[in-house]
Amino acid sequence: MGFATTIGKYQLGRTIGEGTFAKVKVAANTVTGQLVAIKIIDKQMVIDNKLMDLVKREITTMKLLDHPNIVRIYEVIGTKSKIYIVMEYVSGGQLSDKLSYLKKLSEGDARKYFQQLIDAVDYCHSRGVYHRDLKPENLLLDSRGNLKVSDFGLSVLRKPGDLLSTACGSPSYVAPEVIANKSYEGSAADIWSCGIILFELLSGYLPFDDRNLMNLYRKISRAEYACPAWFTPSQKNVISKLLNPSPTKRITVAEILEDQWFQINYEPSIGIGHDEWINSDDVKAAFDDIGGNMAETEETKSPNFINAFQLIAMSNDLDLSGLFEGEDNVKQRTRFGSKHSIHETIESIEVAAKDVRLSVEKMNNSKVKLHEARKLTGYRSHFTGSAEVIEVAPTHCMVVISRSAGKLTMYSEFCKSLSSLLKEKSVSSTELQKSHTAVVSDGEEVQQIQRSTEEDVNAHSKEPLRGYASS
pLDDT tens, position by position, for the chain (471 residues)? 455 588 889 999 999 877 666 788 999 999 999 999 998 988 888 777 777 777 877 787 788 889 999 999 898 998 888 889 999 999 888 899 899 888 899 999 999 999 999 999 999 999 888 888 899 999 999 989 999 998 876 666 665 666 665 566 688 999 999 888 778 888 999 999 999 999 999 999 999 988 888 889 999 999 999 999 999 999 999 999 999 999 999 999 999 999 999 999 999 987 665 544 455 667 666 666 554 433 332 222 333 333 443 333 333 333 333 333 333 333 467 877 787 888 888 988 999 888 888 889 888 778 898 887 554 444 444 778 888 887 655 566 778 888 877 777 888 888 888 888 886 543 333 333 333 333 333 333 323 323 332 333 233 333 334 445 433
133 is catalytic: yes
How far apart are the C-alpha atoms of 189 and 135, rounded to whole Å?
12
Whether residues 64 and 121 share a domain: the answer is: no
Residue 355 placed within a domain:
yes
Amino acid 160: pLDDT: 62
CATH code at position 185? 1.10.510.10
In the chain, how long is the greatest CA-to-CA distance?
89
Whether residues 313 and 410 share a domain: the answer is: yes
Whether residues 59 and 115 share a domain: the answer is: no
- Whether 253 contacts 203, CB under 8 Å: no
Q: What are phi and psi of 389, to 5 degrees?
A: -110, 120
Confidence (pTM): 0.61
Q: Which domain holds residue 60?
A: 6-90
Amino acid 220: pLDDT: 93
Residue 232 placed within a domain:
yes
One of 42, 48, 97, 133 is an active-site residue; which one? 133
Whether residues 162 and 84 share a domain: the answer is: no
Q: Is 104 marked within a binding site?
A: no
Whether residues 226 and 324 share a domain: the answer is: no
Q: List strand residue ranges (DSSP E) for 128-234, in order.
A: 129-130, 139-141, 147-149, 156-157, 163-164, 184-185
Amino acid 393: pLDDT: 57
Residue 403 placed within a domain:
yes
- Whether 118 contacts 102, CB under 8 Å: no
E strand or H helix at 455: helix 454-460
Amino acid 20: pLDDT: 66
Whether residues 141 and 211 share a domain: the answer is: yes
The whole-angstrom distance between residue 221's C-alpha and the CA centroid of its chain comes to 17
How far apart are the C-alpha atoms of 332 and 323, rounded to whole Å?
13
CATH code at position 39? 3.30.200.20
- Whether 430 contacts 420, CB under 8 Å: no
Amino acid 332: pLDDT: 65
Angle between the 186-203 and 233-242 helix axes, to the nearest 10 degrees? 150
DSSP 207-246: SS--SSHHHHHHHHHHT-----TT--HHHHHHHHHHT-SS
Q: Which DSSP letter does residue 339 get? A: S
66, 90, 114: which is the final residue of a domain?
A: 90
Whether residues 412 and 374 share a domain: the answer is: yes
Number of domain units in the chain: 3
90, 117, 139: which is the final residue of a domain?
A: 90
How far apart are the C-alpha atoms of 438 and 308, rounded to whole Å?
5
61, 90, 119: which is the final residue of a domain?
A: 90
Residue 300 placed within a domain:
no
Whether residues 208 and 225 share a domain: the answer is: yes
Q: Which of 196, 185, 203 has the alpha carbon at shortest distance from 243?
A: 196
Buried b (16+ CB within 10 A) or exposed e, 111-146: bbbbbbbbbbbbbbbebebbbbbbbbbbbbbbeeeb
Whether residues 264 and 391 share a domain: the answer is: no
Range list of H helices, 301-440: 308-314, 321-324, 342-355, 408-422
CATH code at position 419? 3.30.310.80
- Whether 227 contacts 203, CB under 8 Å: yes
Residue type, 122: D
Residue 188 placed within a domain:
yes
Residue 443 placed within a domain:
no
Residues 6 or more apart whose Cβ sits within 8 Å of residue 296: none
Q: What are phi and psi of 426, to 5 degrees?
A: -80, 140
Q: Which DSSP letter does residue 469 get? A: B
Q: Which DSSP letter does residue 70 get? A: B
How far apart are the C-alpha atoms of 334 and 352, rounded to whole Å?
15
- Whether 349 contacts 334, CB under 8 Å: no
Whether residues 61 and 130 share a domain: the answer is: no
The whole-angstrom distance between residue 313's C-alpha and the CA centroid of its chain comes to 18
How far apart are the C-alpha atoms of 39 and 90, rounded to whole Å?
13
Residue type, 32: T
> What are residue 139's DSSP bridge partners?
149
Whether residues 216 and 73 share a domain: the answer is: no
Residue 61 placed within a domain:
yes
Residue type, 380: R
Q: Which DSSP letter does residue 273 get? A: P
Residue 220 placed within a domain:
yes
CA distance from start to end of the chain? 25
Whether residues 123 and 84 share a domain: the answer is: no
